[in-house]
Structure 1
Amino acid sequence: MDEEFSIKLDSIVIPTSSTKVFKDDCMFSFDTPLDPVGLDICMTCHQAFSRGEFNYTQMHSEFYDHDLFLNYRKIRKVQKNEEQPHKMIKLEVKESSESDLFDSNYSIYDQKLNKSVDYPNKELPTKVSQAADAIIAATSSAKKEEIMSWEQEIKSCNHSSAIEQKPIPGLQLKKCTSCDLAENLWICLHCGNLGCGRNQFGGVPGNSHAMLHQKEYPEHAVAVKLGSLSSDIADCYCYACDDEVKVPNLASLLKTFGIDITNFVRTEKSLTELQIEQNIQWDFKMGGDGGEELKPVFGKGLTGFKNLGNSCYLASALQLLFSIDSFQKAFFIPSGVPLDKILGNLRPYEDLETQMYKLGDGLLSGRYSVPDMTTLETTKYQRGLKPSGFKTLIGEGHPEFSTMLQQDSFEFWTYLIDKLEKKKVYGQLENSPTNVLKFILESRIKCSNCQGVRIKKEVTDNMSVPLNVKLVETDAEGNKIYKQTSMNESMDIWNSPEAFEYSCPKCGKQTATREENFKTLPEYFVVNPQRIILENWVPTKVTVPIKFEELLDLHKYQSTGILPGEEELPEDETDGREGNNQDSEVEFDIQALNNLFEMGFTENRAKHALYATGNNGAETAMNWLFEHMEDAQIDEPFKTPENGGSGASSVSVDTEKLASLASMGFAEKNSIKALVLNNGNVEAAVEWLFSNPDDDGILEAADAGLAAKDTDVLVKELESSFDKTKLKYELLGVVCHKGTSVHSGHYVAFVKKIVDGEAKWVLFNDEKVILAIADNIKEIETTGYLYVYKRI
């Protein structure tokens, strides 16, 4: 060993099983052990750095006086007659899973001397060898998080908790009772009928006879997949709820049909395995009609993400977000992550702004948008950025985004935007990059009797619009074919006046109309078509085709304010309602009330249900009622809860939003505080409530006043800067979703990019980044889920 090689033994820290060890990628870039120089893992703090385009190893060493590193490189093994490997199903994450594909090389690197020695090396001090061995053996921090969160929480439902069994005579458990299929078999827990399942990902056949059995016998809701049964795994599905469920006393119920679960050997993949495999492998159309494979594209702004197993919802949202000018300006610097994020930031994995800079560099620099030459695939796609650190940080503490389950991409978009605003993550900008998404919605209520008008303003950064759902036919395979609609048709439905019972401050109870318009419009307009509807009281995703149009004109939806001849209605504590009857403070949907009456529900129950579900229609209220029949107050006369709390008696919150939180089980006082502190943002309020479970719900006057002041300032800024002549938009990108539920299936992003000097549509399908063709664009019509428009 070189005599000049010096080591400070007191700076070496031997990691234990509880120590975070980072060895997947650099803390400030997406350089990995597969890169020529590899990763340098600090032997003091166990974080990983690189000496690639930017020498973050040197910066870390000089800033913190951490000089010694374990250098880690992975080199592709050369194997004879090797076929293209199948993607692994990452049900069980093991550190040795890549050992068949890669050799691992290690060395000890002294940054101060810029010298390396191969490892293992008998001449190294014992402490250095112990630390190096512990780092090599340790499961990386990213893998640990993945293992911890790779759990699917399945709950029981009303149907699976109360199964009445009446076995049919002559049971046979060999093949489907309606066809000859002998795999993908589901046994009805109510009667023992054996039916085949639906066609499943990966070519598993099925004719849906188990589902058809339930349609014939609606009370036979729950079935179990025989091939997946073992002592620790059981796939149970409720066709009434259209979801996986847990079945209490399953072993006892199966014994009714002669099935001993302890002796069953699993012969087929479980639903979870199939779902994970589908998330990783389910591709959108990647070729033309002639079967030719489309060529990938590379360059700045054309970088893909590696799918972590369920991360396509996150990746597709980030592709759109970093296509917005303000986010590019905020979080991308050609010289890499700013020095101030490296200096004095000993835990960059806990800093959201650092993670945003890292994403900006990875997605926009072009350094990682190169063919992956380590694979044996004929077509060389990118390796793809692995957003493990960002996903762990952004999802921390969130009941959904912290898991490894597929999530709703639009919900993640709104959650991320709110998180960036709350933590004041501005990057290089003086104000939030999210400001380009902000606009003012104006709700206009007009009394049908006195023609008085009340106007309410709300600042938001996205919209959900209804779809015009018209079923045309159902094809031979049971797929529903819907009539084509358009984004403007959805905007028309959203903008249409709706009638409701209203207590006018001027003339008492009357009928009024309510409509929404735009007071201002943003630079970037974010729209979510509501593809989830209730069919037979079950949330269902519909594939209504939305005509692909790149231009959107919002001129006709601009607010008019108070028109000549109209009078603005007064505001006071009681809102002009008669006496102290709090019932009149809630404007119930008359049609929904009548529908609930026709179903046999009493007035009190109907009003409690509509209030608890945010006045969101009879079907939603009915579902709520079925779950709350035993509530003590369900038959008491309905009274609107007062907005209470110290310092908050004069605070006004949206009753529908308050009801939405109440339906989730949150206390009213805490819900009011959460809404006020989060400027009426329901998603942010839910996060605050989860993060503050022990809060007393008391809203201090200063907090209420500050929130109102911030909103007022923002409203004035948006109104003063709004250009009423710029009301036309061009489509920038679309997040698309393929699958029957937003919590399964696969997300991709289509973004308009400059390629070879021309504006072209690019499909981002995880690490596969290709030029879109007509067949790809056609899929946007039935799968488009999140649209981002840029003002012309």
Structure 2
Amino acid sequence: MALQYLKSLDLATINVPNSYSKVFKDDCMFSFDTPTDPHGIDVCLTCHQAFSRGSIDYTHIHAAFSDHSVFLNYKKTLKPISERAEGQPTKMMKLEIKEQKEDDLFDVKLEIYCSEIDQSISYPNAEIPEKINEAVEKIMSATSSDQKEEIKAWEQEIVPCQHAFDLIQTPLEKVDLTQCQYCDLKENLWICIHCGSLGCGREQFGGVPGHSHALSHNEKTPGHHIAVKLGSLALDSADCYCYTCNDEVKVPELSKYLMTYGIDISNFVKTEKNLTELQIEQNIKWDFAMTGEDGSSLKPVFGAGLTGFKNLGNSCYLASVVQVLFSIPAFKKCYFSQEGVPAEKILGNNDPSSDLETQLYKIGDGLLSGRYSVPDTTTTEELKYQKGIKPSGFKFLVGQGHQDFCTATQQDAFEFWLYLNDLIEKRKAFGNFEISPTEVFKFVLENKLRCTSCGGVRMSKEIQENICLPTQDILLSTDEEGKRTYQETTIEEGIQQWLTPETIEYHCPKCAKKVTALKSQGFKSFPSYLVVSPQRIKIENWVPMKLDVPIKFEEHLDLTNVKSKGKLPNEEELPEDEEPEENKEKEFKFNEGAMNALLSMGFPEQRCKRALYNTGNESNAEVAMNWLFAHMDDPDIDSPFEVPASATTGSTASKKSDPNQANESDIETLVSMGFTSKLSNKALVLNNHNVEQAVDWLFSHPDDDGELPAATDNGGAGSGGETSKEDKISTLEHDSGALTHSKYHLKAVICHKGGSIHSGHYVAFIKARVPNGDGEGEEKWVLFNDEKVTLVEGANLKDIEKSGYLYLFARDSN
């Protein structure tokens, strides 16, 4: 019957994919069902999107809404270990993308499924119409959409730093390339490109020994910036590390410099893992104390809300942030329903992969339904963890157009937290709500400026969504290998320091002169969930370093004493005319904290001003520092800097280029290929201004209208329109709970292990409800380490003290 149906089918409804087509065959568009599930997945032969007939029958829902009726059912069954091809890795290294034949790992079964008659026919079949055969062959041979984006993300570019140019070499008289000149190590050896000194590297993950003698050489001779790892050398491989920049770099004409020491790179064969390989291996395997006090492995837990994420190589920052967000009731209610993705998100949704709200529903279903929180029975390990759901599509979508999050390299979890919450508000992806679920983080901070001469005050209010706490780094000792020990501090001490009044210079309108004033702040309202990020980064010798300051693990926080007292009865409000008009017109206020940070690094003032202005005058000095390194050779870098007349005077933000406007020459290139200017601009913006990737996007979105997602600057909107800052403040101040309840309990902590925030590994500790047999469950601390979801004990929670990076406190109900 199925064969007769296919023979009578209007073949115009069947589309054969080409090289630019987006083909989805990794998982369902609306769930994390995959080809390895019992039902497999159904790839639509009309639109090439994937659906499933699992717990929720998205295949028939799609067919009913779209009139697409023919699908390729694609099912994979893992072969027994004895039948698998030898040499297949258990985890794929992404340094080199090689096509793997599915026949090596899986038994693949294909069928043509006709949804209208609910019948299937085995494939291949000689009587199936040729166009259907051609479509199936193209789908099976096509690189899936997820894989395409993954390959793009792993295109890693290592660039030269300022110290890699015009190197001056003063070779040592004798260079021994077989052993560290300071100890007996014969591996993990690094040669100083400046003098030939050979020292061992730092001890590395996976048992690679090292005593940091190459680093010690750099500290003793600061002008010797760059070292090269001998074991990494080959014609197409070389690890070069700049100790001054604390980063892997590229050295132009490296082979010429190495010949100084008799090293002919063409005769070398790579014998050790390079830095990127070690980093990826570390990110995949690095555990946060995955054993209990007795040495036994931590117990895996399963159930609704206890689902892990598969590590995509360097995606632990995303996994940790999303796990914490979806542990909050507002996010659960916003993006999850037992019935699955709402019908209105399926009807007329031509590209679910590009819709943020749909992807959030998919994540909610994956994490909270419990369907995917089951032991992975395909592994040989005695202790079974989960496979973990794979967030490839979500990661690609939220990172689209962002210079950092579109890559596969490790990123800062707190920056991603801010970015994702902002994206939800800008895209108005509010799910089941009429307002953003991110409203639970908002609170009113009241600022007071008091003139020390006349006692007059000026009051102002602002909406905050988090607090970045200063971390007291009181050094207690440093061992022989340079490891530092710091005095323990607490979150409460950090908050007190954050709220400590600051003395500033101020032009008092009442005194009509410049005076000193005290600037203080306090909580006017308290959020439902308080987000706290201790600042663990400190700039040392122009390099951002992570501080392992222990922060005492405490589960309760009382903010009663930091509530703003407002304007006191004996205080008089200062008049509005705060500053002479002539000063207002000519003064541009550079961010004081960032300016001081740059000056302390040794940058000249004119360079600092130019860098801050061109990077948005943000408080993060690292952004401006990176701009300076990239513009060292600008001819006007040391010229006196004048703020353009078009800049907003007295503002703390300069005029940035429009992030939604691409370079005109790039747009013209795409227009010359036949695309409209509007659509070309959108393609470039969404693909990080990469012309080649923009072309790929254009061919896969021929019917796109060219409209970029709407962005708002109000921090969220209510139903029916924008909400002003004043209305938001008023709403928060009239919430009785936000005004009176100032006590909190710790709900979750995102932790980071590693020497730099942009490397290492992130995990999340979350207070979650764990099944206990009585149906109710019990609140316990759970560790979410990618796909490993385990119970943790008291001793394991000690990991939080030195690695806690983002804390989430929930407000007590009374």
Q: Report the TM-score range of the alignment, normalised by the length of the smaller protein.
A: 0.7 to 0.9
- Counterpart of 2:549, as a letter, is V
Q: Work out the CA distance in 1 between the residues paired with 2:3 and 2:90.
A: 48
Q: Secondary structure at the match of 2:795?
A: helix
2:19 maps to which of 17, 31, 37: 17
Q: Tell me which of 568, 573, 576 is aligned to 1:571.
A: 576
Cα distance between partner residues in 2 of 1:453 and 1:471 = 38
The TM-score normalised by the length of structure 2 is: 0.86
2:381 aligned with 1:377? yes
Shift of 1:586: 3.8
Distance 2:604 2:273 in 1: 48
Contact 1:61-1:67 within 8 A present in 2 as well: yes
Residues 282-306 of structure 1: CA deviation (Å, up to 9, x unaligned): 1111111322111100011111100
> Which stretches in structure 1 are left out of the alignment for 5+ residues?
671-686, 694-701
Equivalent pair of 2:468/2:534 in contact (CA under 8 Å): yes
Query: 2:194 aligns to what?
Result: 190
- Which of 514, 519, 522 is residue 509 of structure 1 equivalent to? 514
AA paired with 1:502?
A: Y
- The Cα offsets for residues 590-624 of structure 1, whole Å up to 9 and x where unpaired, read as 99879969x99988778778888959699999998
Q: Quick check: 1:763 aligned with 2:763?
A: no
Give the AA of the match of 2:42. Answer: D
> How do 1:358-437 and structure 2 match up within 5 A?
358-437=362-441
Q: 1:725 aligns with which of 727, 730, 740?
A: 740
SS at match of 1:224: strand
2:318 aligns with one of 314, 318, 321? 314
Is 1:63 the equivalent of 2:94? no
Structure 2 CA distance for aligned equivalents of residues 541 and 776 of structure 1: 22
Aligned length: 751
Q: Identify the range of structure 1 (326-335 vs 228-237) with the bigger mean alpha-carbon deviation.
A: 228-237
SS of structure 1 residue aligned to 2:492: helix
How far 1:263 sits from its partner (Å)? Answer: 3.3
What's the CA shift for 1:569? 2.1
Matches of 1:35 and 1:604, distance apart in 2? 61
- The question of 1:754 aligning with 2:758 is answered no
Q: Secondary structure in 1 aligned to 2:724? A: helix
Partners of 1:591 and 1:306 lie apart in 2 by 38
- Find the aligned partners of 2:116 and 2:109 in 1 and give their Cα distance: 22
SS in 1 for 2:766: strand
Structure 1 residue matching 2:68: 3-state secondary structure = coil
Q: Distance in 2 between matches of 1:788 and 1:123?
A: 61
CA distance in 2, matches of 1:344, 1:590: 49
Alpha-carbon distance in structure 2 between the residues aligned to 1:629 and 1:110: 64
8 Å CA contact 2:588, 2:650 repeated in 1:
no
How many Å apart are 1:113 and its aligned residue? 1.7
Which position in structure 1 is the counterpart of 2:28? 26
Please say if 1:778 is aligned against 2:798. Answer: yes
Give the conservation status (yes or no) of the 8 Å contact 1:442–1:456: yes
Return the alpha-carbon distance in structure 2 between the equivalents of residues 777 and 594 of structure 1: 34
In structure 1, how many angstroms separate the alpha carbons of the residues matched to 2:388 and 2:575? 58
Q: 1:297 aligns with which of 284, 289, 301?
A: 301
The one-letter code matched in structure 1 to 2:53 is R
What is the letter of the counterpart of residue 811 of structure 2? R
Counterparts of 1:85 and 1:147 in 2: how far apart (Å)? 18
| 1:661-700 alignment runs, 5 A limit | none
SS at match of 1:252: helix
Matches within 5 A, 1:131-142: 131-142=135-146
Post-superposition offset of 1:100: 3.3
In structure 2, do the counterparts of structure 1 residues 206 and 541 end up closer, same or farther at CA, with 3 Å as the change threshold? same
Shift of 1:224: 1.1
Change (3 A) 1:454 1:585: farther
Which residues of 2 match residues 412-561 of structure 1 at below 5 A? 412-507=416-511, 508-561=513-566
Q: Give 3-state SS (helix, strand or coil) of 2:726's partner.
A: helix
- Residue 736 (structure 1) aligned with residue 736 (structure 2): no
Contact 1:484/1:544 (8 A) holds in 2: yes
**2:282 corresponds to which residue?**
278
One-letter amino acid of the structure 2 residue matched with residue 79 of structure 1:
I
1:58-457 equivalence runs, <5 A: 58-80=60-82, 86-96=90-100, 99-457=103-461
Give the secondary structure class of the aligned counterpart of 1:457.
strand
Cα deviation 1:616-650 (Å, max 9, x = unaligned) = 699999998887697748564x7666665xxxx7x
Shift in alpha-carbon separation, 1:618–1:629, aligned structure 2, 3 A: farther
SS of residue paired to 1:751: strand
Q: d(CA) in 2 for partners of 1:201 and 1:320?
A: 27
2:34 partner amino acid: T
Aligned to 1:362, the other structure's residue is in SS state: helix
Q: Which amino acid aligns with 1:278?
A: Q
Deviation of 1:94 (Å): 3.6
Distance 1:257 1:376, change over 3 A: same
Question: Equivalents in 1 of 2:122, 2:591: separation in Å?
Answer: 75
Distance 1:584 1:116, change over 3 A: closer
- Contact 2:589-2:651 at 8 Å conserved across structures: no
Q: Structure 1 64/690 Cα, relative in aligned 2: closer, same or farther at 3 Å?
A: closer
| Counterpart-to-counterpart distance in 2, 1:20 and 1:363 | 26
Partner residue of 2:807 out of 767, 787, 790: 787
Look up the equivalent residue of 1:745 and give its one-letter code: G
- Partners of 1:538 and 1:355 in 2: CA distance: 37
Distance apart, 1:172 and its partner CA: 2.5
Deviation at 1:329, TM superposition (A): 0.8
User: Are residues 55 and 739 of structure 1, via their aligned partners in 2, closer, same or farther at CA, if it must alter by over 3 Å?
Assistant: same
Identify if the C-alpha distance between structure 1 residues 74 and 255 changes in structure 2 by more than 3 Å, giving closer, same or farther: same
Whole-angstrom distance in 1 between the partners of 2:35 and 2:521: 54
Deviates more, 1:740-749 or 1:559-568: 559-568
Task: Indicate the RMSD between aligned Cα atoms, in angstroms.
Answer: 3.4
Look up the SS of the partner of 2:781 in the other structure: strand
What SS does structure 2 have at the residue aligned with 1:134?
A: helix
For residue 281 of structure 2, give the secondary structure of its aligned residue in structure 1. Answer: helix
1:521 and 1:722 in contact (8 A); partners too: no
| Rounded Cα–Cα distance in structure 2 between residues aligned with 1:605 and 1:110 | 67
C-alpha deviations, 1:3-34, integer Å up to 9, x for none? 54435222221112221111111000000111
Structure 1 counterpart of 2:44: 42
How far off its partner does 1:274 sit?
1.2
Contact 1:95 1:139 in 2 (8 A): no
TM-score, normalised to structure 1, is: 0.88
What is the distance in 2 between the residues matched to 1:594 and 1:88? 41
Alignment partners' CA distance in 2, 1:732 and 1:438: 17
Aligned equivalents of 1:88 and 1:618: distance in 2? Answer: 37
Task: Answer yes or no: is the 8 Å Cα contact 1:586–1:640 preserved in 2.
Answer: no
**Which residue type is aligned with residue 743 of structure 1?**
H
Whole-angstrom CA distance in 2 between matches of 1:691 and 1:620: 19
Which range moves more in the overlay, 447-456 or 27-36?
Answer: 447-456
1:578–1:448 CA distance, 2 compared to 1 (3 A): farther
Paired with 1:187 and 1:435, the residues of 2 have a C-alpha distance of 53
For 1:747 and 1:390, the matched residues in 2 are separated by: 18
Q: For 2:587 and 2:804, how far apart are their aligned partners in 1?
A: 40
Equivalent position SS for 1:310: coil
Shift of 1:582: 6.0
In the superposition, relative to structure 1, how do residues 452 and 348 fare at CA in structure 2: closer, same or farther (>3 Å)? same
Identity of aligned residues (%): 54
Q: Secondary structure at the match of 2:507?
A: strand
Q: Is the 8 A contact 1:537 1:619 kept in 2?
A: no
CA distance in 2, matches of 1:49, 1:604: 58
Secondary structure of 1:459's partner? strand
Quote the offset at 1:55 in angstroms: 0.6
